[in-house]
A and B are shown apart, each in its own frame.
Chain A
């Protein structure tokens, strides 16, 4: 599939502008990487409506909102400086990016154990890190993912986190990609690579938000994020992803994970609305004993659309995967889930579970669910289940019969439905942080970062 000519020309022109302006001060290796990625994007184009993997998401508005792509520098809005953007966890490393650029005044790189390497900001565009050229895109292959290719073509900022063998990072490493689309649309391409060494342990939180000034100004933004995880033998990574950019924004996120022997990847993905939010997670279980647990929750209203798309590849025997995605759909929103599990011919003793449960809060919301199990081995345990339902009338009556008003009763039941996901965070501070975000979403407040305070 190739881009329509006019659109292609616009993209080419924008890319050249980026390479010569904002992106100009980059070493040769990075220019090469970008141009190669642009070739991959050109070859694939933006997936159209006939692409099976994009069945539930109309990409036309995405294509229209992609430009202008170049990262624009903005002054840090005063209202932001006071906020700490913690998810209930005060201490630890915190990296804040504003319109795709690292913002030191809002960040703190304190608190990392010795040996942990963090490359971010201008350092990422340094000659010194030429080895990244071979490393970036090994998990999220730009030849196979058009938006990942586009992300790499516009690689400007982001960070790389390396946790060495045996190191346990106690406090979560948090990032916030914040957009300030004052007066103009903004498109950003955040890039993250997390490499967890043998038997290391780390919790990584990525948040995507829009600042309140930009939101009030009615600005729109397009985020095209790529996060790659490489888990070495015995590594345990907890990953949290929160998207609360707001109802007018477009978001395409790819989380790509590669797991070695006995490693474990636990994730929670929280989608709190957007005009279009496409949330892809790809996991390759590449050696025995590897385990992944993917949890997702989407809470939508208005005419919002979230499309969760997971692909788990069981490439070898004795690996385990579990997926639990839950949706709460109000208004005229649309929540889709596609879960593909591929079990290779010799991946015997695979255990793969998948569940998608949706709660419809209105008569006009639509839920779509699509399990795709491709099983080529014969000695496996694979299960999938999906339910779509409404709030339990009997439970509502029960709560009301105890004096609880209908609005509170409904909210309690929605929280109860969501709690299976938030509790997967285990850390009580994080669980509470997630619950507060969901509460502010349910109470109809804007998705502003400060609501999490």
Chain B
């Protein structure tokens, strides 16, 4: 996709370790406002480590390279500051937190973000109205808002809850880390509907997925293939179809050739 505007996110030569292992080995990526990038790759290629590096470095240590987000050095920002600047991660494994209501998490988060933007705090009634509207988009029972965060949720409910949070917080850059895994086709369509509802000229997405299936519903502008800690190939949405047909082995052979 050609676009002359400044990138929202520039990842340059990032190396990162997870545990003792070097997982990212010189990753480059540029995302402009309004773009949807899909990142595909086999297990262990570094997809989730990339998501962690971008949203807060917990469980991933950057050893080289730089990331600019909205023109700022991303690594200077704490996880909450990144969120307040509009970054959002839909977790691959959303955390269960018994004792904190979903609505509390959402309201605290939204008000912290609003405060950062210089907007007034939302009271409980206004907040609930917004949260209920967003839940309806995802065909979620509003009672989910009163339940403890992800506690006792099914796999599909957890993923849907991540997308609900994304709709409420309205990020500038949303990173979806295998949000499609464990979803049946109906749930997948609903999740995609939520993402598509949020698509706009100034909002970008990084969709990390193992399977091409999701990309039938969230059509990407760019598809990248991540292998052994680097992006080995980029293309348009047809690249995902090619991968689906031929598998990753073909690609690794090609990359090594």
Contact = CB atoms under 8 A, between A and B. Distances in A.
B233 interface: no
B174 to A, nearest CB: 12
B95 A404 contact: no
Interface of A: 392-395, 397-406, 408-409, 412-413, 415-420
Given A393-B58, A404-B108, A398 B91 contact: yes
Nearest to A399: B105
B109 A403 contact: yes
B169 A412 contact: no
B80 A406 contact: yes
Given A397-B56, A408-B108, A416-B100, A403 B95 contact: no
B94 A402 contact: no
A107 B56 CA distance: 54
B112 interface: yes
Nearest to B165: A402
B223 to A, nearest CB: 25
B104 interface: yes
5 contacts: A397-B58, A398-B94, A401-B80, A406-B78, A409-B80
A401 B171 CA distance: 11
Contact of A405 (B82, B91, B112): B112
Given A403-B80, A420-B99, 7 more contacts: A394-B58, A398-B94, A400-B80, A402-B80, A403-B112, A406-B78, A416-B99
Contacts of A403: 80, 83-84, 108-110, 112-113, 116, 169
A392 B95 contact: yes
B227 interface: no
Secondary structure call for the A interface: helix
Interface string B59-103: 100000000000000000011101110001101001101111000
B55, B89, B110, B112 pick with most chain A CB within 10 angstroms: B112
B176 to A, nearest CB: 13
Given A393-B58, A408-B108, A412-B108, A400 B78 contact: yes
A328 to B, nearest CB: 13
A415 B109 contact: no
A394 B59 CA distance: 9
A423 to B, nearest CB: 9
Nearest to B96: A395
Contacts of A399: 97, 105, 108-109
Contacts of B82: 401
B95 A400 contact: no
